[in-house]
Amino acid sequence: MDLSAEPLKVAVMGAGPMGLAAAYELAKRGARVTVYERDDRIGGMSAFVDFAGTRIERYYHFICKPDLTTFEYLREFGLENRLHWSRTKMGFYFRGRLHDWGHPLALLKFPGLSLVQKLRYGLHVMRARGIDDWTPYDAFSSTDWLLRWIGKQAYDVMWRPLFHYKFYEHENSLSAAWLGTRIKRVALSRHSLFEEELGYLQGGSEALLEAVARRIGELGGAIELRAGVEEVVVKDGRVQGVRIGGTFHRYDRVISTIPLPYLTRLAPGLPAAESAKVAAIRNVGVVCVLLKLKRPFTRNFWMNINDPRIEIPGLIEYTNLNPLDGSSIIYAPYYMPQTHPKYRRDFGEFIDETLRYMTLIRPDFVPAEEVIASTASRYEFAQTVCTPGFYGALPPMASRVQGLFMADTSHYYPEDRSISESIRIGARLATLVLNEPR
């Protein structure tokens, strides 16, 4: 950017980690940045709520050892001492019994697979752990990849329920590159062959995001809450600014970090080819149940589930990663397409269903005696359906509309959803803005 010129005026849509990172990277290079967020708080899917006296994220997050961008930001903001690592455990509830999982001995003891199937499963994980270039794996589905490596029976036991209860009719439409990076990220986050090690921030993601937000303000930027953009104004193929509350605000550049399907509704000037690419991408929503219990439900941080009576892929007992106030916090995510008949149900029905499942897993669990509080959140665009060929399906981050830049969680591909990826993509958006000729 030409520092002798008038400072670049940039509007950023969305105050999640991606939007905040984009705004911060621009502000520290001299741009005049305003972040617009329709919610009453920053954070997006990592935003915090007060839950029965516990401050907690609406949707769970954890840190893995490959999350290098997170570590860079923690150093930059002097928050390294907030990062803590825990030796976490994993369980697998398989047809009426909870098994240990996540290490070679547990795999050998597992009764649902033959010895040959176990060896093939372990070799597949080791293979994924060593792949650096996932580009070739974009060409075929995760289902085909798994069937070749571990066979149909092992696929049905280990993977099919997870895919089905997250993607339903899209379960066989997932790129192998998308799955492989998820396997690798967790596989690399280990203390030893027998111990998984995951991280969390003291004070949660909020500790980092609030630090970024403060720095944006110190650099002359602004964050406007309860201020959703109503229109991205485009004229003659160039961004003019944004309309908020019926008032036009002129900007040189506009960055959108909100879900892309929202952007197409707000930017009527978006080229038809880019709108078509966005329309072709599918997402699944989530209703995430949050429970606070008097005592731990299990010793596991996460539990995968394969049981015909239970229609969720697993449970996450967050306090087995990050001990909080002596109680136990459990997340139960109900992923499904927004068109699924269950998706719009009352939250109370999801909570009751979760508690029924928990009594199946642990018959001695008595909800009336154990549950301190319960709630749920719903989010329309929780997970992109990353199909084979997804690299080519993504719309460009730099629109053909001059001055308009856009990304959402689909642009993490093939990487997993994480705070680290949000920050990385936010910084990349800032670089694209700064490199565009004025």
Residues 243 and 178 in one domain: no
pLDDT band at 325 (very low <50, low <70, confident <90, very high): confident
pLDDT of residue 131 exceeding 90, the answer is: yes
Task: Looking at the structure, tell me whether residues 237 and 208 fall in a common domain.
Answer: yes
Token pair 């670089």 is found at 431
What domain range includes position 166? 104-193
Claim: this prediction has a pTM higher than 0.85: yes
Alpha-carbon distance of 169 to 155, in angstroms, equals: 17
CA dihedral (366, 368, 370, 372) in degrees, to 10, reads 160
Verify that 254 and 112 share a domain, yes or no. Answer: no
CA proximity to 179, closest of 203, 163, 157, 200: 163
Instruction: Please indicate, yes or no, whether residues 171 and 112 belong to a single structural domain of this protein.
Output: yes
Residue where a domain stops, chosen among 135, 160, 193: 193
pLDDT for the residue numbered 88: 97
In a domain, 305, yes or no: no
> Does some domain include residue 127?
yes
My answer on whether 108 and 185 are in the same domain is yes
CA dihedral 173, 178, 180, 182 (to 10 degrees): -120
Answer yes or no: do 61 and 129 share one domain.
no
Residues 277 and 399 grouped into a single domain: yes
Q: What's the chain's Rg over C-alpha atoms? A: 22
Tokens of 368: 């009336």
Contact status, residue 28 vs residue 4, Cβ threshold 8 Å: no
Mean pLDDT along residues 258-267: 95
> Number of H helices and number of E strands within the chain?
14, 20
- Determine the pLDDT at residue 177: 98
Per-residue pLDDT, averaged over 25-50, amounts to 95
Residues 58 and 34 occupy one common structural domain: yes
Whole-number pLDDT of residue 139:
98
Q: pLDDT band at 416, cuts 50/70/90?
A: confident
Based on the fold, state whether residues 49 and 70 are members of the same structural domain: yes
Q: How far apart are the first and last CA of the chain?
A: 8
Distance CA 284, CA 288 (A): 13
pLDDT at 407: 98
What pLDDT, in 10s, does the model give residues 179-193?
999 999 999 999 998
Average pLDDT estimate for 123-141: 96
Is residue 139, in this structure, part of any structural domain at all?
A: yes
- Same-domain status, 206 and 177: no
What b/e string do you get for 176-190 counting C-beta neighbours within 10 Å, with b at 16 or more?
Answer: bbbbbbebbbbbebb
Report the candidate in 375, 274, 365 with the shortest Cα–Cα distance to residue 54: 375
In a domain, 431, yes or no: yes
Give domain status of residue 369, yes or no.
Answer: no
- Please, which residues have CB within 8 angstroms of residue 339's CB and are 6 or more apart in sequence? none
262 contacts 14 by C-beta, under 8 angstroms: no
pLDDT computed for residue 16 by the predictor: 97
Mean pLDDT over residues 144-152, rounded? 97
Which residues touch 229 (CB under 8 Å, ≥6 apart)? 11, 13, 36, 38, 242, 243, 244, 266
**How far apart, in Å, are the Cα atoms of 233 and each of 9, 151, 261, 325, 379?**
15, 53, 17, 48, 27
Looking at every residue in the chain, the average pLDDT score rounds to 96
CA distance 13 to 73: 21
Asked which of 193, 212, 238 is the last residue of a domain, the reply is 193
Amino acid making up residue 409: T
The Cα 284–Cα 335 span in angstroms is: 7
Total structural domains within the chain: 2
Predicted pLDDT at 1: 46
| pLDDT the model gives residue 239 | 98
How far is 77 from 211, CA to CA, in rounded Å?
7
Inside any domain, residue 92:
no
- The residue length of the chain stands at 438
Kindly state whether residue 387 falls inside one of the protein's structural domains. no
Residue 268 DSSP symbol: T
Query: How far is residue 111's CA from residue 106's CA, in Å, rounded to a whole number?
Result: 10
Cβ neighbour number for residue 87 with a 10 Å cutoff = 14
163, 193, 223 - which closes a domain: 193
pLDDT at 369: 97
Q: Is residue 317 part of a domain?
A: no
**Better-predicted residue by pLDDT, 330 or 5:** 330
